[in-house]
Amino acid sequence: MNSLYKAIFRGLLLFALVMGWQHHATAQQRTVSGQVTAEEEGTLPGVNILVKGTTQGTVTDIDGNYRINVSGEDAILVFSAVGYVSQEAAVGNRSTVDLVMPPDIQALDEVVVVGYGTVRKSDLTGSVGSINGEELNTVAQTSVDQALQGRVAGVRITQSNAEPGGGFSVRIRGTNSITAGNEPLYVVDGLPGTNPLNSLNPSDIESVEVLKDASATAIYGARGSNGVVIITTKQGKRESPLTVNYNVSVGLQETTKMLDMMNAQEYMSFYNDVFVDRGNAPPFSPEDINAIGDGTNWQDEVLRSASVQDHRLSFSGGSKDTQYYLSLGYFDQNGIILNSGFQRFSGRINLTHSIGERVQVGINFNNSIENKQIARIGNGVNVGAGIIGAALQMPPTDPIFDDNGDFAFSLQDLSNPVGQAETIEDSDKITRMFGNAYIDYKLLDNLTAKANFGFSRRNLEEDLFFDTQTLIGQLNQGQAQKEFRDDTDYLIEFTAQYDPDLGDNHRLSILGGFGYQQFTFNEFSASSRNFSSTAFGSNNLGAGEASQNLVTSDRQENTIVSGFGRVNYNILDKYLLTGTFRADGSSRFGVNNKVAYFPSGAFAWRISNESFFPETDLIEDLKLRASIGISGNQEIGNGRSQILLGRGPVAVLDGIEFESIAPTQLANPDLKWETTQSFNIGMDVTLLNGRISGSIEYFQNTTRDLLLELPVPTTTGFGSSLQNVGDTENSGIEFNLTSRNLTGELTWTSNFNFATLNNEVVSLGELPRILQGNVRFLNNITLLEPGIPMNSYYGYEYVGVFQSQEEIDNAPTQANSYVGGRRFRDVDGDGEITPDDRTVLGDPFPDLTMGLNNVFTYKNFQLEFFFEGRFGFELANVTNIDSENPIDDLRNRQRYVLDRWTPTNSDTDVPSFIRPSRPFDLNSRVIEDASFIRLRNFRFAYSFPGLENRKISGLTIYLAGQNLLTITDYRGYNPDVNSFGDSNTVIDYTAYPLARTYSIGIDIKL
Amino acid sequence: MKKYNLLLSFIIVVCSTTSCDELLEEKTFTDLQPSDFFNNLEDAEITLNSVYGELRHSNITRDAVTLQEVNTDIHIERNGGIFTQNEPIEEFVWTSSHQWIQNDWERRYRGIFKANVVLDNLDPISGDEQRKAEIRAEAIFMRAFNYLLLYDFYGPVPLVTTSETDVRDRPSRATEQDMIDFMVAEFRDAANALPLTPPLDQYGRPTKGAALTALMKLYMMLRDWNNAASTAQEVMDLGVYDLFVDGNRTELFSPENQRDNEFIFVSVMSDTPNNTTGDGWLSHVVPRGYQWTYPPRQIFAAEYKIRSAFLELFEPEDERFDAFLFEFVNADGDTIQLGEDDARSLKFPEYPTQEASRSSDDFPFYRYADVLLSRAEALNELNGLNQESIDLLNMVRDAAGVRLVTLGDFSSAQEYKEFLLDERGREFHTEAIRRQDLIRHGVFIKMATERGKPAQDFHVRYPIPITEIERNPNLVQNDGY
């Protein structure tokens, strides 16, 4: 895969060079021909041949023969093919040039970025997933996370919200922690703790490395246990001319799915039938039904086709001393919900400069401005239901506008969704800058010291305004709010790298360093209500009613002090040893446990380099590796170990409100790190002259001393306390394969990964279980219990419709049961359906995740498509509960309810919906298999040949698509979603629908 | 390795000096640490506020009506997400997993803890000694009051009287006698120290009358008629309270009169209510399409309704009958009739200043009518039919503009008792004391059974929340759960 791109890249570079030499070309043309062969395979078809300094090129035919026109005797032919080392041959006065291509074993010697350094891929002892920026099809993608979805085995990336600029939740090798954060540590160009979110232009990425096992992550100690994502941005190349790259794409998005709702006529006759079956008068007369037509299709009214455009411009190059990479980006995406969107302006400066032989200074700096127009989505109910929630529940008989042309109000406790989209203003402005500056000083030839200074600041300005034209606006009385947030951190880090010369057979590399990082957080928010005019929006809070003014502010700070080191020892290129150690001190922990230590060790054995290993074409490289180590997690709030006094509940005396102060938590001076012990064994193999390479590994992560918000007896005055209690375990197998299936004129490269995952709660200390997760008046929808996956869905098992009174009489007692109603299983067999009959209905962890990328090239065409699949997991389709058992009568429902049980339609599993018995609403009818296969990315490109005598060196046009196809049984909008963001409790409730995107783009190189 | 060691030792040197400790010292800016606090009486006042804040919440009426009336002859609830909580209560199938039963338990212990914080930190503080004594008495009352509310629901519970709590605490339930003795002593203590009028002149703080009434209610619950009657008399003798007779009886709860001296102890709502400082009851009551007096107001999907059978207890001239909504005119001018089991209790009215779903209606715990009727009931239990009980009953009936009764109207003490229970229903519906009244009269289970509910004797107590049992194995669950 890499080589393929390198070949293309080289080709493009040559195009660039052509530009420079264009005017040297003379016109004396003659023909050269020949045959290209490979040492092992014989004649080679599909080898690219270029006349150096021109754009003139050809490819070898099926027998490896070629014919090309050259001019003059200085001509040099450049031969390149995937899997082979490119060759140059001076033509001289020859008319036949035959060539033997040596296989490219360099693929093995790629360099991989790891914590505080790089290693040769062949020297790697830990588990690192590496992906080249060029491999990520980033067309119309907002963030690194989005582009990484499905690309690396064992890395599960779920979008919490498919809105433009929406957040992602990234889980590497499962979920360790119940309470503390589970998101990985991001390291951008050596600056840890900086999740770039949407601020990074994906084109700036040189490579992304995902550190998975402790051997790789323990160097990040207290922050390593969730895995580490290292992002390296592009640098200018030494002694290369200016390359200007401009990439523009425009696209169109539409929803991947609409839910099938009842139209007005179906809705009216449905409710008439239900009401009559209840013994009530039908709410709609035949005249009503005849007059209504199709009514309002609320989904249609709030969803739209939306455009997206993306411009990326970069300049790179370098002299012997100074290299530069500069980029600018403009990204503008309209959301598929009315009035939602995201824009990003980004700029990057990466510079390196050498001062003499020994000193190098550098700077990497990213700056971005993001604007987000937020559509009101969320987990609210009734009047609090957002645009999608209201659109799915609002009666189709309700109009959008009333007779006066104002947004109509419903008799339902719901806010007009079109009105919400049009009149509620919610926008974020984010100014983000982060970067680092460093000095490398070569003390000796083999000893380098480095000082690294990093900085990150994220300023968020949020404006929120509820006009009174909707019910929710009225509820908030024309509320306006303005909020400022500032997250700032800085880093000071000193490292030294020592590579003593121990002769040819031993290579030793030692790294040591220490660092200090401080994070501060500041927030200020003000709001008011009852505005004299709605024209002010959130721009004049003073115009609100003074008694409704609300002001809050918050400030927090935490620090981390670290010392770390790593030793890499390579004996005879056969035995590889890595040891790392980190000591981290964190302000967040109890006075008794401020500092913790995180060691790791790894060993790899390159069996194929042993003399006894047969020299065979089949297995070119074989390496076994094993690692063990400990890393930590400190992702909890600040001040959690101390007794704190904070704002208590408001007292009201004499009708006047009084603030109070009260203890907010129990002290825990012993609070310490959550630690994950990780064990990993793996095998890397390269077969058939590098045609196939891959790895397989097994891991087991045991997390102990969980930072658990432990439920405690409330007689203490508190419901919970942050304690180091409980264990969890994640284990699985990961498999990666890169295969060059075809290397001829038509090349085909496949990249395949899959991973299995077993997640399990091992212990919760003294507690038998913990129930979590509240939504839509449903409490405790998930279960934490030793022996089962974390936050498994916990509810009643539906067994079908009660067909007769006789069946009810003979069944276990179930409150409010009736013929046509839902029947549930008496799990504990006590003859009664009680909360004890709740059982595990599924879990949100896919048993198997996979990604498959295929790239085909033929002449100047390239076709690439990427599938992601996840299998064996469930998702709580809470949206469907609004159809199963709406919060109020006369709300719209999905069309499937028309198949409800009646005495004449008894062969159905859809209940009759006569009585809305609620306690059973979280049941197996709404816990759905969410397995899916999705065509995430598709790209078809054509690169123009023969650009000689033009000012441009490369021109590619492409068609691209995202989310073009999803195969799933899941009935909601999107099986890959979590309405609770990065929470371990995963649900789908009226989430922002996923968009399908079609783009067309042009990539120009000068 | 040398370099590695060198670096490591450098780190150790750096970190072993004080600078490392300082770097890792945790600073808090938005929260205070105990060392910053409890230095003066002002701090104690502010902490005492949190005790009041725990008691009052914006769904206090709703939750109380569900747990104290939906399982009686008065209220039912239909529609809305909270039917999840109401259905098991109405159907007598509630379990230890019921969210609102859990919320109630947790709220009480938060209040008790905060009262303990006040009491534990008060002594070393110097300041106005009289106010200090009042603060102590207020905290004592509030702690005992929370225990009384717990006792009402669950029976005896763990008695926690210190703020020095630990996650490893696994307290057992107190014995019935210890629980009662504790509350009696604390209410007496509070009654002795609290003034006749609210401390600091702030309506909502407990008074001597509040402490005595709480004590009386405890004695009533225990059917200790002697002490109940005498404690009621003590309240009457304070000379602070009388019945509201200055208009239609329903106007007692109007904005003008809701702080009348008939009220003895209430949870006060804000004059400028927001989502947390107002009461959300009304939006749960009115029917869809109802036209508010002071719009805009929200109408929730959930609807609390009155059972038609309950309305038959009222005589036509009873002013208290005016508290119910039987029909309304919608936006189109159509009159909508509310049919069987569909009338609404509008006892707590709208306020001109109110939030979309929160009003300034105080939630009354105790009012003087209850003291009078309790004494009447206790005397009837002690002495059989007697004139004082008739007179006390008539005070309330007179205030309601309904015909007075005489001794001759009743053939037995039992008949009087039953009439009195009906009177209490007419007087106190929607004030969330029906469940305890029915239990005291021994008819809570019987009436539920008559409504066809699978009620059993154990249902007179709620279960201790399962979450609490799981966290504290020393707690023994109530029988039947």
Indicate the SS3 state at residue A203: helix
A226: Cβ contacts below 8 Å, ≥ 6 apart: A171, A172, A176, A177, A181, A182, A183, A184, A185, A633, A635
DSSP state of A261: B
State pLDDT tens for residues A675-730.
Answer: 999 999 999 998 887 789 999 999 999 999 999 999 999 999 999 999 999 999 99
- Give the minimum alpha-carbon distance from A668 to chain B in angstroms, rounded to a whole number: 9
Q: Do B468 and A474 touch (CB under 8 A)?
A: no
Interface contact A369, partner B, CB < 8 A: no
Interface contact A485, partner B, CB < 8 A: no
Alpha-carbon span B113 to B104, nearest angstrom? 14
Kindly identify which residue of chain A lies nearest to residue B355, measuring between CA atoms. A475
Nearest to A512 among B4, B34, B167 (CB): B4
Tell me the pTM: 0.87
Residues 827-856 in A contacting B (C-alpha not used; CB under 8 Å):
834-835
Alpha-carbon span A899 to A892, nearest angstrom? 15
Residue A1's pLDDT band, with cuts at 50, 70 and 90, is: very low
Per-residue pLDDT at A10 exceeds 80: no
State pLDDT tens for residues B379-391.
Answer: 999 999 999 999 9
Alpha-carbon span B193 to A857, nearest angstrom? 91
Indicate the SS3 state at residue A672: coil
User: How confident is the model over A164-182, as a mean pLDDT?
Assistant: 90
State pLDDT tens for residues A231-288.
Answer: 999 999 888 888 899 999 999 999 999 999 999 999 999 999 999 999 889 999 999 8
* E runs forming strands in A654-726: 656-665, 674-687, 692-704, 707-711, 720-724
State pLDDT tens for residues B434-473.
Answer: 999 999 999 999 999 999 999 999 999 999 999 999 999 9
State pLDDT tens for residues A494-546.
Answer: 999 999 988 888 989 999 999 999 999 999 999 988 887 777 888 888 888 88
Indicate the SS3 state at residue A182: coil
pLDDT of residue A3: 46
Interface contact A553, partner B, CB < 8 A: yes
Chain A residues near residue B166 by CB distance under 8 angstroms: 666, 716
DSSP state of A992: P
Q: Do B8 and A565 touch (CB under 8 A)?
A: yes
Closest CA to A188 of A325, A57, A365: A365
DSSP state of A803: -
Q: Do A587 and B116 touch (CB under 8 A)?
A: no
Cβ(A870)–Cβ(A848) under 8 Å?
Answer: yes
Alpha-carbon span B137 to B156, nearest angstrom? 23
C-alpha torsion sign, points A920, A922, A923, A925: positive
Alpha-carbon span A709 to B29, nearest angstrom? 22
Burial of A203 (0-12, 13-18, 19+ CB in 10 A): buried
DSSP state of A84: B
Listing DSSP states for B402-415 in one string gives -----GGG-SSHHH
Interface contact A367, partner B, CB < 8 A: no
ipTM above 0.90, yes or no: yes
- Give the minimum alpha-carbon distance from A282 to chain B in angstroms, rounded to a whole number: 15
Indicate the SS3 state at residue A806: helix
Measured in degrees and rounded to the nearest 5, phi and psi for residue A465 equal: -145, 125
Kindly identify which residue of chain A lies nearest to residue B301, measuring between CA atoms. A888
The rounded Cα A427 to chain-centroid distance in angstroms is 22
Nearest to B26 among A588, A658, A776 (CB): A588
Burial of B165 (0-12, 13-18, 19+ CB in 10 A): buried
Residue A478's pLDDT band, with cuts at 50, 70 and 90, is: confident
Kindly identify which residue of chain B lies nearest to residue A649, measuring between CA atoms. B53
Chain A residues near residue B163 by CB distance under 8 angstroms: 663, 717
Q: Do B105 and A714 touch (CB under 8 A)?
A: yes
- Give the minimum alpha-carbon distance from B396 to chain A in angstroms, rounded to a whole number: 27
State pLDDT tens for residues B3-62.
Answer: 444 444 554 545 444 455 677 777 777 776 666 778 889 999 999 999 999 999 999 999
State pLDDT tens for residues A907-962.
Answer: 999 999 998 888 899 999 999 999 999 999 999 999 888 766 667 778 999 999 99
- Give the minimum alpha-carbon distance from B235 to chain A in angstroms, rounded to a whole number: 22
Q: Do B109 and A653 touch (CB under 8 A)?
A: no
Bond prior to B296 in cis (omega within 30° of 0): yes
Residues 615-654 in A contacting B (C-alpha not used; CB under 8 Å):
638-639, 641-646, 648-654
pLDDT of residue A93: 81
No. of H helices and E strands in chain B?
A: 17, 8
pLDDT of residue A58: 82
Burial of B367 (0-12, 13-18, 19+ CB in 10 A): buried
The rounded Cα B214 to chain-centroid distance in angstroms is 11
User: How confident is the model over A622-626, as a mean pLDDT?
Assistant: 93
Alpha-carbon span B480 to B461, nearest angstrom? 10
Interface contact A500, partner B, CB < 8 A: no
Residue A28's pLDDT band, with cuts at 50, 70 and 90, is: low
- Give the minimum alpha-carbon distance from A718 to chain B in angstroms, rounded to a whole number: 7
Interface contact A821, partner B, CB < 8 A: no
The rounded Cα B49 to chain-centroid distance in angstroms is 17
pLDDT of residue A133: 81
Chain A residues near residue B62 by CB distance under 8 angstroms: none
Per-residue pLDDT at B116 exceeds 50: yes
Alpha-carbon span A495 to B106, nearest angstrom? 52
Kindly identify which residue of chain A lies nearest to residue B56, measuring between CA atoms. A651
Per-residue pLDDT at A369 exceeds 50: yes
Beta bridge partners of A117: A114
Q: Do A714 and B25 touch (CB under 8 A)?
A: no
Q: Do B272 and A662 touch (CB under 8 A)?
A: no
pLDDT of residue A197: 81
Nearest to A660 among B7, B36, B53 (CB): B53
Closest CA to B257 of B367, B395, B120, B146: B367
Q: Which single residue is written with the structure tokens 């809105």?
A: A163
Alpha-carbon span B238 to B334, nearest angstrom? 51
User: How many interchain CB pairs under 8 A, A with B?
Assistant: 302
Q: Do A662 and B301 touch (CB under 8 A)?
A: no
Q: Do B37 and A645 touch (CB under 8 A)?
A: yes
Q: According to DSSP H, which parts of B386-451 are helical?
A: 387-399, 413-428, 434-440, 444-450
Q: Do A563 and B110 touch (CB under 8 A)?
A: no
Listing DSSP states for B196-217 in one string gives SS-GGG-BTB--HHHHHHHHHH
pLDDT of residue A549: 86
